[in-house]
Structure 1
Amino acid sequence: MQQDWYSADEVAERLGLHVRTVRGYVRDGRLAAVRIGKQYRIAREDLEAFVGRPAPSTIQESTTRQRVVEVSSAVEISAVDRRTVDRISTLLTSANAHQRAGDDRLRIQAIYDEERAHLKVVVFGSLITSANVFEMIEAILDDGNAAESDS
């Protein structure tokens, strides 16, 4: 059976103490350790007995990483009329309120400059959910272009 051994520095890091404090505990006999060369080595079992529970792990050992990819994008649409802006903002509001299962929460802001007929939509969220929003905007714009060409 392989036994885990820690240096005084590693124990100090795990316990959030200064290394001199750990060495003091070893010299006082409060923390069992073996001297190897010029260093103390503390067995995992001795550290757990000293702490009174399983040895705390280091940040690297205890941190589980989960990848999160988020997008912040601005969509700028020029030469857009008020009716199309209303359709886009209504669609985005309802889509954000009634998301599909598995969709991440989005933050969406729409700013319309009526004088310039310019709409800016800012989207913050996951890649897939943001892409779905862009597809919805494109569908409305394509529908508006088709209606204009029919007229």
Structure 2
Amino acid sequence: MSNMLLTVEQAAEELKVHPKTVLRYIREGRLQATRIGKAYRIDRAKLDAFAGVASGRTRPPHGVRATVIVEIPALTTEAAERMATFLGAAALGGDAETRPLHFNTAFDPTSGDLKIVLVAAPSDAARLLELIELQLGLSR
């Protein structure tokens, strides 16, 4: 039953995190949820996709993944926050069939350096790198 809706507490239990962490994921746009009244409901398929759970299919044995580290120097704090938000939105752009894309960002406000660590299928990583170039105005 893929269209089953879960509460924040049920999603937190499934992810083995605190409910406030699930709420943070929702606020950051990393986990899609629907607001019903004062509470959120999370679609089972969206939670599975967020958690990287295959939807009834086994993972291909030769699932190639790329790990990419991008360093962007001399950013303001606001620009680094915009980039992290942009990446979060781009990461949510797939569907339940797409292998999950994982990324982390680290920003050093003293030097203005932003580091992005991305783990994805090579084609997805390449597309995201192109989007980063476009966002920074570095496109050809």
TM-score (norm 1): 0.47
Structure 1 stretches of 4+ with a deviation exceeding 2 A read 100-104
Query: Aligned ranges for residues 15-34 of structure 1 at < 5 Å?
Result: none
**Cross-structure match for 1:129:** 124
Q: RCO greater where, 1 or 2, for CA within 8 Å and sep 6 or more?
A: 2
- How many angstroms apart in 2 are the aligned matches of 1:132 and 1:86? 20
Q: Which amino acid aligns with 2:125?
A: S
The reply on whether 1:98 has 2:93 as its aligned counterpart is: yes
Q: Which residues of structure 1 form unaligned runs of 5+? A: 1-64, 144-151
State the Cα deviation string for residues 93-138 of structure 1 (Å, max 9, x = none): 1121232576421110000000010000000110011111111111
The total of aligned residue pairs comes to: 80
**Cross-structure match for 1:108:** 103
Q: Give 1:68's match in structure 2, choosing from 63, 69, 77.
A: 63
Q: Give 2:76's match in structure 1, choosing from 75, 81, 86.
A: 81
TM-score (norm 2): 0.51
- How many angstroms apart in 1 are the aligned matches of 2:112 and 2:84? 15
**Identity %, equivalent residues:** 25
Give the conservation status (yes or no) of the 8 Å contact 1:76–1:119. yes
Give the conservation status (yes or no) of the 8 Å contact 1:79–1:116. yes
**Cross-structure match for 1:146:** none
